[in-house]
């Protein structure tokens, strides 16, 4: 039967379902429906898939069901991987309400946070969502914990030149090094980027929904892909 090891001295397999056995008056006959066309028929030879020393899964491959099966097949019980990046998704603004709430005329729902969470999770990250109102003291109190506990903090809103755009100043107060503020593009010009020394990376995206969307895919997602590659150093000490 298929799936078994060949007996010594044999080189071809006829499938069990292609064989009919009959016994008449003590005589047994075997009828084969279609003789094999060649030696080696229905035989999967050793090393037919790959040879010893062949590369099976390149470094940097995201492990899915097929890759896990390959690892199990060759006895790779332990494999070196990078862990999923941990992202804090932060919406800011007094005018924002929860997605399940009915907004008043001056309010809007927190759609940017939902989009960023979905996009980051699709890219392989784990996420947790937060919301801060436009208040400097609230930002000073809430952001330090996120900077300590997450690999990256992705903020939406509060980075332009409005009277309530406090994020750039507060982030600098908290010791986050500003690498740049504003990029030559539309939409998304007010984008702010920085990093806490030895800690979290900070992406502060403009709050306009299209700007948030564009800047996520232009800047945040490439960072996610790069930092989850085995060639990159660990995100943070385990």
pTM of the model: 0.69
Residue 100's pLDDT is: 82
Rounded Cα–Cα distance for residues 90 and 79 (Å): 34
Same domain, 111 and 30: no
**Is residue 74 situated within a structural domain?**
no
pLDDT of residue 236: 43
Kindly tell me the burial class for residue 86, based on how many C-beta atoms sit within 10 Å of its own C-beta (0-12, 13-18, 19 or more). middle
By residue range, what is the domain housing residue 214? 86-227
Scored b (16 or more CB within 10 A) or e, 50-72 reads eeeeeeeeeeeeeeeeeeeeebe
Domain check: are 107 and 212 in the same one?
Answer: yes
Residue 55 lies in a domain: no
Query: 110 and 31: one domain?
Result: no
Q: What is the pLDDT of residue 62?
A: 80
Tell me, yes or no, whether 90 and 207 share the same domain: yes
Residue 64 lies in a domain: no
Neighbours of 221 (CB within 10 A): 17
CATH of the domain at 196: 3.40.980.10
What pLDDT score does 204 carry?
Answer: 94
Residue 106 located in a structural domain? yes
Residue 78 inside a domain? The answer is: no
Largest CA distance in the chain: 102
Is residue 184 domain-resident?
A: yes
Identify the CA nearest to 2 among candidates 17, 20, 23.
17
Tally of domains within the chain? 2
Q: How many CB atoms lie within 10 A of CB 44?
A: 11
Query: What pLDDT shows up at residue 231?
Result: 54
Shared domain for 96 and 209, answered yes or no, is yes
120 and 12, same structural domain?
A: no
- Does 120 fall in a domain? yes
- Same domain for 93 and 206, yes or no, is yes
**Contacts by residues 76-83 (CB-CB < 8 Å, ≥ 24 positions apart):** 80/230, 81/230, 82/227, 82/228, 82/229, 82/230, 82/232, 82/234, 82/235, 83/235, 83/238
> Residue 237: its pLDDT value, please?
40
Tell whether 38 and 112 lie within a shared domain. no
86 strand-pairing partners: 126
- Do 185 and 92 reside in the same domain of the chain? yes
Q: What is the mean pLDDT of each run of 10 residues along the chain (238 residues)?
A: 85 88 89 85 89 89 90 92 90 83 83 92 91 90 93 90 83 92 89 91 92 93 80 45
CA distances (Å), 145 to each of 22, 88, 151, in order?
A: 78, 10, 12
Q: 19 near 30, Cβ under 8 Å?
A: yes
Residue 234 lies in a domain: no
90 and 200: one domain? yes
Check residue 230 and give its pLDDT.
54
Which pLDDT does position 233 carry in this prediction? 47
Same domain, 167 and 101: yes
Whole-angstrom Cα distance, residue 181 to residue 193? Answer: 6
């Amino acid at each position: 039967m298929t799936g078994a090891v060949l007996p010594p001295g044999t080189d071809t397999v006829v499938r069990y379902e292609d064989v009919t056995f009959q016994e008449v008056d003590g005589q047994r006959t075997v009828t084969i429906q279609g003789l094999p066309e060649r030696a080696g028929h229905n035989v999967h030879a050793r090393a037919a898939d790959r040879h010893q020393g062949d590369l099976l899964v390149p470094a940097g491959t995201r492990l899915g069901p097929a890759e896990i099966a390959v690892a199990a097949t060759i006895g790779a019980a332990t494999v070196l991987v990078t862990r999923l990046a941990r992202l804090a998704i932060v919406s800011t603004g007094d005018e924002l309400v929860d997605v399940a709430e009915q907004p008043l005329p001056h309010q809007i729902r927190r759609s940017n946070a939902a989009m960023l969470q979905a996009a980051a999770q699709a890219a392989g990250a784990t996420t947790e969502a937060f919301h801060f109102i436009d208040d400097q003291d609230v930002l000073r109190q809430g952001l330090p914990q996120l900077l300590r506990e997450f690999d990256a903090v992705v903020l939406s809103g509060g980075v332009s030149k409005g009277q309530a755009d406090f994020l750039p100043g507060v982030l600098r107060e908290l010791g986050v090094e500003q690498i740049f503020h504003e990029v030559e593009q539309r939409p998304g010009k007010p984008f702010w980027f920085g990093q806490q020394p030895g800690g979290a990376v900070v992406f502060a995206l403009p709050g306009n929904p299209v700007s948030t969307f564009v800047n996520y895919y232009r800047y945040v997602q490439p960072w996610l892909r790069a930092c989850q590659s085995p060639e990159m150093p660990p995100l943070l000490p385990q």
